[in-house]
A = this chain, B = another copy of it.
Amino acid sequence: MSQAIQTPNFVVSGDLYAEVRTFYARQMRLLDQLDIQRYAETFTEDGVVDHASRGERAQGRAAMIAGMRQALPRYAGIAVRHFFDHLLIEPLDDERLSVTYYSLVTRTDAAGAVVFEPTFTVEDVLVRVDGALAAKSRTVYRDGAPA
């Protein structure tokens, strides 16, 4: 978690906090509805998703979409939901925002039974494209994974 608590005196405004949370509210609906194409479009064209703990890294929307398409069969009949908490929003420079957060991921089956993935800590870099937020990179760390 290299970027967290980097600028301990930065206080995020209410407006930016709400905007970032709304970005994720939309992005996670797309991911959890398995709308892979529109999920990929919430990243920049050259966006990177790095599952650090399992050595999986996709660079660019096309690679992202291909990787997710391969994983789709795993989600047949399962409703996945990504819950976030403790967002820490800090500017890296004039153009980039570091956003780190906790994630708890549920899988509910058709009968209503819930199982949990291990918790994750996520580090995103967000930028603005035509005024709106977009993800430039996402690095996902599985909590408790041996270093």
Contacts and interface: CB of A to CB of B under 8 A. Distances in A.
Interface of A: 1, 4-5, 8-9, 11-19, 21-22, 24-26, 28-30, 33, 77-79, 81, 83-89, 101-102, 104, 106, 108-110, 112-114, 116-119, 132, 142-146
Contact of A104 (B5, B77, B106, B145): B106
Nearest to A102: B81
14 contacts: A5-B30, A12-B22, A14-B16, A21-B86, A22-B88, A25-B86, A25-B88, A81-B143, A106-B116, A108-B142, A108-B143, A112-B142, A112-B144, A114-B119
Contacts of A9: 132
Contacts of A4: 26, 29
A85 B88 contact: no
Nearest to A26: B5
